[in-house]
Chains A and B, each alone.
Chain A
Amino acid sequence: MNRDEFREGVRGGFPIMVAASPFGALFGALAVDNGFSIADAVFMSAAVYAGASQMVGIELFGNNVQPWLVVLSVFAVNFRHVLYSASIAKHIRHFTLVQKFFAFFLLIDPQYAESERRAERGLPVSFSWYLGFGLIIYFPWLVNTAIGAVFGQLIGDPKAIGLDVLLPIYFLGLVLGFRKRDRFLPVVAVSAFASVAAMHFVGSPWHVSIGALAGVLLAACLPQEPGRSEMPAVEKEA
């Protein structure tokens, strides 16, 4: 462990931690609103540690969606991490197996982005730096989840204080974050139409899988453009 590099990581992760804090609290409050206890909410933040997919998870859980579909949706929302871990492989090859385990567990969007940036500038992506950066975001994420969950329990009717619009708007923000991707508009249009139709004709929760499948199939069937960039773009989760 190199203390200076650890500290450098902590300093680098600090602003990310501050920016993510409201989302941790929001997750805690909405999780409680969707039937989680405070401990459940904190446990999910600790075990999954991926804000957007946690929001998706509680939303589907609150709507009594079948468990396998909840897990599949979490997997789908987190799928971008496959690209990150593929792309980061060359920078962390020198980590030990245990270090790699922790590195992958902490691999959130900003962690990936900063690791790439650091390597790009010729600085070493050491485990000390990586851990410092990751932990200064990880632990406050748990604390903020707990704080949000405590406040969430005090709230009687979520509609009266406007909590119910926050998740759809949050997801809308995430969708907008993907708008630079290829085929964004056709995929979103088809998924939107299919999910609304599925909600009407089949009912919840099938609108999620039917709508998503329609968009994904369309993306596979559209003509492919050659020459895509090698490095995956980082979408901002929040």
Chain B
Amino acid sequence: MDAQQLNLIYLIIAAAIATFATRVGGYVLITQLKHIPPRVEAALNAVPAAVLTTLVAPAFVYGGYDVAASMLVAFAVGLRFSTLRMLLVGWVAVMTIRHLIL
């Protein structure tokens, strides 16, 4: 096993520990303290959407017009339907643009 491979294993283990910490954390917290300051709670509440947005917006802006177009189509689908349908429709859209239109 080379060093790079080993680093990936360590990375996965660290990610697993971080994930487990979130799954135990609330239990530990709730048994320790009764009240979380509202601003802290609001900040924590915003974390997932904020992080995930940073993986979406740059791909949309810098990913090329084919990616942007299929993301727009998927967005419209996602307002009504499941993520699985978004993926399916978005994939069909990008394949159509790449192989049929170009």
A contacts, CB < 8 Å to B: 19, 22-23, 26, 36-37, 40, 43-44, 47-50, 52-53, 56-57, 59, 61, 67, 70-89, 100, 104-105, 107, 159-162, 164-178, 181-184, 187-188, 191-196, 199, 204, 207-208, 210-220, 222, 224, 226, 228, 235-236, 238
Contact = CB atoms under 8 A, between A and B. Distances in A.
Nearest to A192: B57
A188 B53 contact: yes
23 contacts: A36-B8, A44-B15, A61-B11, A75-B19, A75-B21, A77-B52, A78-B19, A78-B23, A82-B29, A85-B22, A165-B67, A173-B87, A176-B79, A191-B49, A191-B50, A195-B54, A211-B54, A211-B57, A212-B50, A212-B51, A216-B46, A222-B42, A224-B42
6 A-B pairs with least C-beta separation: A215-B50, A86-B26, A219-B46, A173-B83, A211-B54, A85-B26
A44 B23 CA distance: 17
A78 B18 contact: yes
Contact of B55 (A22, A40, A56, A75): A56
A220 B40 contact: yes
A74 B30 contact: no
B23 A85 contact: yes
Contact of A67 (B14, B19, B59): B14
Interface in B35-78: 38-63, 67, 70-71, 74-75, 78
A162 B43 CA distance: 36
A172 B13 CA distance: 27
B49 A168 contact: no
A59 B63 CA distance: 14
A216 B74 contact: no
Given A105-B23, A195-B54, A215-B49, 10 more contacts: A44-B15, A53-B19, A78-B18, A89-B27, A89-B31, A187-B46, A191-B54, A212-B51, A212-B54, A219-B45
Nearest to B28: A85
Nearest to B18: A75
Nearest to B36: A86
Contacts of B16: 44, 47-48
